[in-house]
Each structure stands twice: as C-alpha cells, then as structure tokens.
Homo-oligomer: A and B are copies of this chain.
Amino acid sequence: MIQRTTIEANGARFHLAETGAGRPLLLLHGWPEFWFTWEPVMTRLAHRFRLIAPDLRGFGDSDKPAGPFAPHNHADDLLALLNQLGIERIGVVGHDVGGAAMQPLARLAPDRFAGLFFFDFPYPGIGSRMGSPDSLIEIWYQSFNQMPMAPALVGASRETCKAYIGHFLRHWSWRKDAFDSVIEVFVDNFMKPGNLEGGFAHYKGSHAGRIAMMKGALPAFPPIDIPTCVRWAEHDAVLPFAWSDRLSETFSNLDFAQFPGVGHFPHREDPDRAAAEIGGFFERIGWCELTARNSSEPPPPSPSGPKRFHSA
C-alpha cells in the first residue's frame, strides 16, 4: 500500500514513498539509510497520517547531481518538494542527516511546519564533545566518507559494501538484530550506481559546519519556536544521550525525553514505540484528524517511561 512516485523539484528528481491518510508528515532518513528505513513506522501510522518519505538528494532512487550536499541544500530541496506537492503545512519527522536538514528547513519557512519530531541527530549544542579524544573511534567515518578513494573501497564488491554499511547499522544499534531481516535491501540500495557517492556527498557538504561546531565557531542563530519533540535514544554509540543536554538552546518549544532500550535507530529497533511517540506528539499539538482513524484497527501503543521537559 506504499506508493512510489518521482517528483521534480529544485533541479533534481526526487523519489518519494507515500502511504496513509490524514494530516501530512514528512519523514527524513539518515545515513546509511534511505526512505525504506521508515517503512515500519509508516505502516503503523498510515491509519492516522498521510506519510511522505523522500529519498534525500544523493540517496535511494533520487537524483545524484554532483555534491557536496550540505544540510541547507537538503532543506532547499525539501521546501521545493513541498511546493511541488502543493502542501502548505506539514509535520516533519527526522533523525541523523534528516534531523540535520530539518534545522535549516525550519528556519527557511517556519510557517510551513506544524511540528518537528526528532530522533538522535546533530545540533549545535553537541559542540566540541563530538571531537573529544574518546569520540574519535566513533567519528572517523565522517572523515573517511570524504576521501576520494572511499566509494571504490566500499563499493569494490557486494561483500565490501555489506561489510561497511552493515557495520554502522549493527554497531550503532542497541538491538543488534534490528536490520538483520533487511540488510540485503540496504546493500541493494547502496550498490545502485552513485548511491555510495551520494551519501558521502553529505559528509563533504557538512564538514565545514561540523568542524566549526567542534571549535565553537558556529554563527549564533535564534532558537526555533516551532513545537518540537525529541526522543533521544538511551544507547546511541555515535550520538550519546549525554549530548542531548543543550537542545533547549536550539528549540524554544521542546518536549524532550529519553527513548529507552534502543540505539541510533529507534524507528527500526522499536518501531511500535517509535510510531507511538511520533503519533502522540502530533496528536498533542493538534496535528491529527481523529476522524481519520480506522476504528477496526487496534489503537496504537501508548508511549510510556520517564519523560522530562526542558524549559527554554
């Protein structure tokens, strides 16, 4: 029931997966992922929302023009995509690269977004901690992915691609088997011509900003006022929970809590709870048509566990 379409926007063709009915939600994937990473969440929320999951520029079946692609390039793409779709107002859900793109996107056109929902993602308050000596063993890929030799090394064969992509899907997960049943689908995706390069183009594009963040040299932006919900994983190896402590500097209207028992990929490690957290947030802010709920389906599980709210 997931429909696939291709739409031209901002000079490139974007592949979208779409399902469900109700208020629209835009779902933005990370690296090394593509739209399909949201599939378990999409099937769980389709009775309540219209769900639109694009492949970001460079990823999946979207175009792969010459990079680099910085987060603000993805933001330009996504706003153009909403215009092409004729969508005036939408909720946005993202993590990792998707969450990085959501920040310039929210600043580009704040009136277009009903709410922002994030799983673990880079934001300015992480600061120098990302480059601390103990983090180096985790963040080397941000540099390796920029090397001219990287696509040839990783893409030398299906086996090398699986070793590399599979490393991150497993290492960054807390539930180690989260991707086992779909690993070949992910390898299929990254073996498509240009897809390794397309993902690496994000690392080239985000390099200067990331280094500026580590140096404390990012320009100061005013906080984002759009209603925001962040559920940060308890056990993320690459974006540790401790780094979520400065979110209220970037988001003035923040509903924050830990997502227990998962690593970097809550949407794949615990899709029941991930869907419930997303649905619950957009319901709380009134971005949900209750009439769209199909009463023949069981209600979605409620989020539980400790919850903290940051004040801005």
Are the CB atoms of A143 and B137 closer together than 8 Å? yes
Smallest CB–CB gap between A110 and chain B, Å?
A: 30
Separation of A157 and B159 alpha carbons in the complex (Å) = 12
Question: Restricting to A107-148, which residues have a CB under 8 Å from any CB of B?
Answer: 128, 131-134, 136-144, 146-147
**Is there a chain B Cβ closer than 8 Å to A182's Cβ?**
no
**Is there a chain B Cβ closer than 8 Å to A156's Cβ?**
yes
In the assembled complex, which residues on chain B have CB atoms less than 8 Å from the CB atom of A164? Answer: 149, 153
Are the CB atoms of B137 and A131 closer together than 8 Å? no
In the assembled complex, which residues on chain B have CB atoms less than 8 Å from the CB atom of A131? Answer: 131-133, 136
For this chain, the copies found in one complex come to 2
Assign chain A's interface to a size class: 20 to 34
Binary CB contact string for chain A from 143 to 187 against chain B (1 if under 8 A, 0 otherwise): 110110100111011011001100100000000000000000000
Separation of A160 and B160 alpha carbons in the complex (Å) = 10
Are the CB atoms of A160 and B167 closer together than 8 Å? no
Separation of A45 and B271 alpha carbons in the complex (Å) = 67
In the assembled complex, which residues on chain B have CB atoms less than 8 Å from the CB atom of A143? Answer: 136-140
Are the CB atoms of B167 and A149 closer together than 8 Å? yes
Are the CB atoms of B133 and A215 closer together than 8 Å? yes
Separation of A128 and B214 alpha carbons in the complex (Å) = 14
A163/B167 contact (C-beta < 8 A), A143-B137, A144-B140, A144-B144 known: no
Are the CB atoms of A140 and B137 closer together than 8 Å? no
Separation of A160 and B137 alpha carbons in the complex (Å) = 22
Smallest CB–CB gap between A213 and chain B, Å?
A: 9
Smallest CB–CB gap between A267 and chain B, Å?
A: 24
Are the CB atoms of A214 and B144 closer together than 8 Å? no
**Is there a chain B Cβ closer than 8 Å to A50's Cβ?**
no
In the assembled complex, which residues on chain B have CB atoms less than 8 Å from the CB atom of A138? Answer: 143
In the assembled complex, which residues on chain B have CB atoms less than 8 Å from the CB atom of A159? Answer: 152, 156
Are the CB atoms of A152 and B163 closer together than 8 Å? yes
Closest B residue to A207 by beta carbon equals B137
Question: Restricting to A283-306, which residues have a CB under 8 Å from any CB of B?
Answer: none
**Is there a chain B Cβ closer than 8 Å to A211's Cβ?**
yes
Q: Contact check: which of B153, B157, B211 meets A136 at CB < 8 Å?
A: B211
Q: Contact check: which of B132, B133, B134, B153 meets A160 at CB < 8 Å?
A: B153
Smallest CB–CB gap between A301 and chain B, Å?
A: 36
Are the CB atoms of A142 and B153 closer together than 8 Å? no
Q: Can you name 9 A-B pairs with beta carbons within 8 Å? A: A136-B136, A140-B141, A140-B142, A140-B144, A149-B163, A149-B164, A156-B156, A156-B157, A156-B159
